[in-house]
Amino acid sequence: MNDKEQLQHLRHSAAHLLAAAVMELYPHTLRTIGPAIDEGFYYDFDFGDVKISESDLAKIEDKMHELVSSWKGFAKQDVTEEEARKAYADNPYKLELIDEIVGKGEPITFYQSGDFSDLCRGGHDNNPSEDLKYFKLMKLAGAYWRGDEKNKMLTRIYGTAFFKKEELDNYLTMLEEAKKRDHRKIGRDLDLFTFSDLVGSGLPLYTQRGALIRRTLNNYIEELQTAEGYQQVWTPQIAKAELFKRSGHYDKYHEDMFHVKSNYSEEEMYLKPMNCPQHTQIYASKMHSYRDLPIRMTDFAMLYRDERPGELNGLGRTRAFSQDDCHIFCREDQVDAEIDKALEMTKKVMQTLGFSYKYRLSTRDPQHPEKYLGDKAIWDKVEKWAEEIMKRNNIEYFDGPGEAAFYAPKMDLIATDSLGREWQLSTIQIDYVQPERFDLVYTDSDGKEKHPIMIHRAIIGSPERMMMILLEHYAGNLPLWLAPVQVALLPITDKQAEYAQKVKEMLESKGIRVELDASSERLQAKIRTHTLQRVPILAIIGEKEENEQAVAVRTREGEDLGKMSQESFISFLVDKIDTKST
């Protein structure tokens, strides 16, 4: 068992311990499910008429510490359907789970530790009394039973657990720092985006400054792609259901897609949640020879997914977003070169943005082959191929069984930010399924028709989500090339206003985003204002600077860069912007 699995087992055990403590303190509570998750664990409860608040978490936590001392292990109990139903006769949630287990023909198992027993498939720490000491209950949240808004709202208690006190302390410190860096607060402070109840939840509205950041990210990616022979297309945000039925997305995702009703047609239509099905139709619009390939399509068109309200999170999880999407139609012998090109582009972007990263090789869930489309032999081939690509490029990677798309395994980039948090960003997929489902063909050198390979590729993924990550990664202090305002000109008195305006016009003529503060505030107040606005460069203009046709330069961090002539100042800025220096 690897370290990640051990930690998952510890956290799953902590969920059991949480349920045991709740049942001791609130014996009439109905417990439901309690899994381990990436950041810890949770358990969902129906407290009935009892109301609990976050002030009660300390009491529950104390009870957990009291109980765990007697938990020497987890004893597995195989039970019959009748025994299981009798044990949970008064708990409709557990009875529903039992119905599912019976329906699948799976064994019913309970796991007991101390005096507490729970319906469970297993996966626990072997010695909880020794290992399960460093945990913390984090918060309460509402959660619909089985994630369905038609069901009852339950109370979800979140917690986390680690094997070492130092690991728990570091995690809690990171959370405190993350609160200070919350992109939603930074977005308000810097006037980047907003949400409106009249527009709808999960639908961000970008101000001039926020739209500029979003556009700058897209332009950066597009410049790289254009230089490598990628060409941008544009596709509509709406399509017939038949398109998604053909691709296979309808069966997998239609519950998370926005259904669109026409006043003049009975056709079933949806807002598109991804670009790939429409790109197949651009390819299919004309005949292709082997000489035409590869064809590289990029697309920044908007996408829409009907995310559940409880899962929406600022720019991190929205209902409207775009992607730096690319689909490459190529011959099989071209796949390696195309993927190497994509990996090199991704490496450059990650270095520019300041992220360390690794890859996850996302493969099939061997227990559920029914989730995937296509021939097993092709899946075997592509999974092995993806592994060879990782090794050939000397890329650090780890296995992610069960994380594959339904049509192909994935090479997913996992970036680490300045707080040590991990984010999935880019992805590369070698897809044999979609070309076959849409009957896409090209004429090969032997005159025969063959299906192309379809490579799916994104680098930063959603620029909206990337904005969130970057705002928190940099604590709002975006690098000069990405900052919505790059330079603040701060004349000391009104006497320098005319010269400051001249400098402003010179900077703007070079494409530099500049703001002139002509207010009557004292200089220190101006410096404070623009420092709080995270403007990277402050250019102070006093009588000496005007006489010498110069500016006094300092950074938002307070570093004095000295006096620069107009020409030197512009050269300094242009160099940092062009090189995308952090």
Residues noted as catalytic: 276, 305, 323, 325, 327, 410, 456
Token reading at 386: 């993806």
Which residue's structure tokens are 């529950």? 60
Strand partners, 205: 194
Q: Of 578, 551, 546, whose CA–CA distance to 567 is shortest?
A: 551
In this structure, are residues 434 and 407 in contact, taking their beta carbons and an 8 Å threshold? yes
Q: Cα–Cα distance between 386 and 378 in angstroms, integer?
A: 12
> 230 burial class (0-12, 13-18, 19+ CB within 10 angstroms)?
buried
Q: Of 196, 141, 442, whose CA–CA distance to 311 is shortest?
A: 141
Q: Cα–Cα distance between 148 and 360 in angstroms, integer?
A: 30
Q: Of 158, 153, 140, whose CA–CA distance to 53 is shortest?
A: 140
Angle between helices 497-509 and 566-578 (to 10 degrees): 40
Q: How far apart are the first and last CA of the chain?
A: 40
Looking at residue 462, its amino acid is: S
Query: 3-class SS at 213?
Result: helix
Token reading at 52: 């609990």
Q: What is the DSSP letter of 309?
A: G
Q: Cα–Cα distance between 326 and 310 in angstroms, integer?
A: 30
Concatenating the DSSP letter of every residue in 171-209 gives HHHHHHHHHHT-HHHHHHHTT-EE--TTT-TT--EE-HH
Q: Of 541, 542, 519, 514, whose CA–CA distance to 529 is shortest?
A: 519
- Four-CA torsion 38, 40, 46, 48, nearest 10 degrees: -140
